[in-house]
Amino acid sequence: MAITASMVKELRELTGAGMMDCKKALSEVDGDIESAVEFLRKKGMAGADKKASRVAAEGTIAIAVSDDQKTAMIAEVNCETDFVAMGDEFKAFANEIAALALANATTDVEAIMSLEMASGKTVDITRREMIARIGENMSLRLVQKMESNSLIGQYQHGAKIGVVVAIDGGDETLARDLAMHIAASNPAAISADEVDQELLAKERAFQIEQAKESGKPMEIIEK
């Protein structure tokens, strides 16, 4: 059966696959669109499995907060390049994962991968189809939950920094401001009492050495 340009166009719109891949798929199944979709899907899944060993060190943070602002999920979804991480499709994928985790009250990655997305496909099938189309390995690394008796604040700086903070008292503005400060300073602990003593000793020794080099007397340095 002759494969026409309109057939290739229709298959591309249905699958998002490349023109040559669509033409080849149609040739393999004698022009049947439905069979060609299945052919591309199987081919894509195999390609996704091959890419699974590739390092996905880039990605984005996605945050979902409940309507009462007392529960939040923060998810890290990885890909291979910053270019893909900044794309609307990848960000939408990550945001839906966070929303699904919140709706299903789970942080278990395997459980989340089996949840059904708005498209009717599971997270894992959607991920593998995206890998096949985009050509990069992708993975859900982790999901964490934050709960508050009062209020949840959140702040995202670009794609890679996301903060969720639980406060007792205060208001939405304070919660967001705290999240912004955490994003900016990346503190090691919430309060001074929680600072690791070994870290504190190392920092003290470092500051003493710096002060010595400035020529200050030891009694001043100790103070």
Distance CA 34, CA 41 (A): 11
pLDDT (tens digit, 0 to 9) for every residue of the chain, 223 residues total? Answer: 788 988 888 887 776 666 777 888 888 888 888 888 887 776 665 455 555 566 578 999 999 999 999 999 999 999 999 999 999 999 999 999 999 999 999 999 999 999 999 999 999 989 988 887 888 889 999 999 999 999 999 999 988 999 999 999 889 999 999 999 999 999 888 888 888 888 888 888 888 888 888 888 888 887 7
Domains assigned to the chain = 5-51 (1.10.8.10), 58-150 (3.30.479.20), 193-223 (no CATH)
Q: Which helix (H) or strand (E) holds 159?
A: none
Please give the model's pTM, rounded to 2 decimal places. 0.70
Which of 94, 32, 124 has the alpha carbon at shortest distance from 40? 32
CB-based contacts of 138: which residues, under 8 Å, 6+ apart? 56, 77, 78, 79, 80, 90, 127, 130, 131
